[in-house]
Chains A and B, each alone.
Chain A
Amino acid sequence: MNVQTVIRPALLCLAACLIGAPASAHHSTAMFEWGKEKTLSGTIDKYEWTQPHTFIWVVVPGKDGKVQQWGFEGMSPSWLGRRGWGIHSLTRGDKVKLAYYPLRDGRQGGFYVRITLPDGRTLEALPQRPK
């Protein structure tokens, strides 16, 4: 990564990219509809506090009664761990509301942006727009 190639796309796409565009230096973020926020309510199945990305597995009841599984990639412990998150931020069984940027290919997954916990607290998972 370098300043030049980060700035240029940021200027091109303005607001959409300004919120957390550098989600990863590890890979392209073009596979997500970056900035097109959606929400999902479900139950935490597993929180993977791992490099190069954290991962949240969420289960939701499907229309057919079967449990559906969703997978969300997030920022790394390197970023989240310095902003109040930790390995115990999410626990199996927590009923959460999750805001995410969806995968472009339509699979049940995306990049998580924000989590609202059972006690109502909200955890931001991406850099906020400078105020």
Chain B
Amino acid sequence: MRARIPIALVAAAIASGTLGACSGAAPDSASTKTTPSETPSKENSPYAQLAKLPDWSGVWEPMRFARPSAGETPPAPPKLTPAYAGQYAAFEEKNKSTPGINFVSEVANCVPPGVPGSMQQPYPIEFLFTPGRVTVLIETYSLIRRIYTDGSPPPAEPDPSYQGTSVGHWEGDTLVVETTGILPETSPLNGINGHSDKLRITERIRLAEPDVLEITTTRDDPAVFVEPYTTTAHYQRHRDWKIMEYVCAQNNRDRLDEHGNPAFSLERKPGE
């Protein structure tokens, strides 16, 4: 008996017109009605248009070592201006004397890398397509990039930020992204700390194979690079992976010491 009461109430409400607005029978609905030519059909609505974009669903893991060995030649070293050639040469020299990854940056202090470095972290990224925008979710450091594809121009004077200001457009199945307004203290390339406010990053993103995403990244900054410098990275699709939480400050024992090296703290709090 108890189950019948709500049904009876709903029936009564419909009968009395209380739920009329929900059923589309509100008296003023005719005044807000648009003409058929202004109403996008379901087939050509902005969301339906997304179905025409390539399938980048799933989670993309940087391939790093695996991919370059597959017959690719490493790119030539960058041609750098005198202002930046010295620090890059020192970085290269250090890689010979102490093999390993020798870059030293504020990233060790959990300050996020800027573009393009944020796209080249070891953990996966994923792409979301919504009308007028592509959103990149980056697991490492839990970063977000918003790439506006609605045709609006980037702001003339964007506030400098780690991820910069990105606009994009589709050339067939390739997403072309232009990013400016990147904070000048970020690294445009491992071994180079800093750049000018003229840094412009152009990324061309496409499926190189059904489950391999290719991102070609060009760095253009006359203060740093004598000519634009391009590298290519590949990402493997994992349809069954989920992006994980990544809070860098959770247990960072590698803050930079007074010499700028990771501290590797072996301190334990009492009871830890």
Using a CB–CB cutoff of 8 Å, the interface residues on chain A facing chain B are: 1-13, 16-18, 21-32, 34-35, 46, 48, 50-53, 55, 57, 69, 71, 73, 76-79, 81-82, 103-104, 107-109, 127, 130
Contact = CB atoms under 8 A, between A and B. Distances in A.
A1 B121 CA distance: 6
A126 to B, nearest CB: 12
Given A11-B74, A21-B101, A130 B65 contact: yes
B194 to A, nearest CB: 16
Nearest to A8: B74
Contacts of B247: 51
B99 A25 contact: no
Interface stretch (B29-37, B46-54, B162-170, B238-246): B238-246
Contacts of B101: 1, 6, 9, 21-25, 28-30
Given A21-B65, A25-B121, A79-B122, A2 B246 contact: no
Given A55-B251, A78-B124, 8 more contacts: A2-B231, A8-B95, A25-B101, A26-B108, A28-B103, A28-B261, A77-B244, A78-B123
B64 interface: yes
Contact of A73 (B92, B100, B190, B264): B264
Interface residues of B, number: 59
Nearest to B98: A30
Contacts of B117: 1-2
Among A7, A13, A46, chain B packs the most CB atoms within 10 A around the CB of: A7
A60 to B, nearest CB: 14
